[in-house]
A = this chain, B = another copy of it.
């Protein structure tokens, strides 16, 4: 890579890092190009060499955020023996919480209030978002194929208005997922998401001495509900 291109890559990363730093201090709404320019000691118009607008920078941060979260979950899950589906799911769920707490502003960017005046290009952000969910769905699909996944009774005859539909890319091949698998994924996602959100914004502080232990316990209970064990 030519020298100039390398410097450009570094600058792109520096801008994103400064943006995150800024949001970490003043919240997601505090993201401003002028602040970034100040932090990097360049003039404000210089940033337009790298991102055509503030919106474009936000989009880049969001996409990178989804990818980082998905990577964190995937690499946590990969440390567990492949056939131990319950433990793999547990690892992914725990990684989700840890990532959210350690990257609180990124998490807010992805799952918090919509950014004022920002209308993200969905064709770019939604595939990135699906990557996160796919980490979990992949494990569920493997568990299903191995006959280790138990459909709970209430799903035996799933009413039409609950039939979740989703297809997933697997080695480039679009695969239509069984509604039950997506449903199970959603149950887990909604519950863990709620725990994370409430902990992140301090709503459970006065109640829960150890939110991590609570999270762990509920995650395990979730797994047993679908016939999966961990150890």
Contacts and interface: CB of A to CB of B under 8 A. Distances in A.
Interface stretch (A71-79, A110-118, A142-150): A110-118
Interface in A198-218: 198, 201, 203-204, 206-210, 213-214, 217-218
Contacts of A112: 112-113, 201
A185 to B, nearest CB: 9
Interface in A154-208: 154, 159, 161-166, 182, 186-187, 189-195, 197-198, 201, 203-204, 206-208
A206 B166 contact: yes
A97 to B, nearest CB: 12
A138 interface: no
Interface stretch (A13-21, A26-34, A53-61): A26-34
A208 B203 CA distance: 27
B206 A116 contact: no
A32 to B, nearest CB: 11
Task: Report the copy number of this chain in the oligomer.
Answer: 2
Contact of A191 (B29, B163, B165, B191): B191
Interface size class of A (residues with CB under 8 A): 35 or more
Given A166-B207, A214-B162, A218-B187, A197 B111 contact: yes
A221 B222 CA distance: 12
B208 A164 contact: yes
A28 B28 CA distance: 12
A29 B26 CA distance: 13
Nearest to A163: B209
Contacts of A190: 191, 194-195, 198, 204, 218
Nearest to A185: B207
Interface of A: 26-30, 108, 111-117, 126, 129, 154, 159, 161-166, 182, 186-187, 189-195, 197-198, 201, 203-204, 206-210, 213-214, 217-218, 221
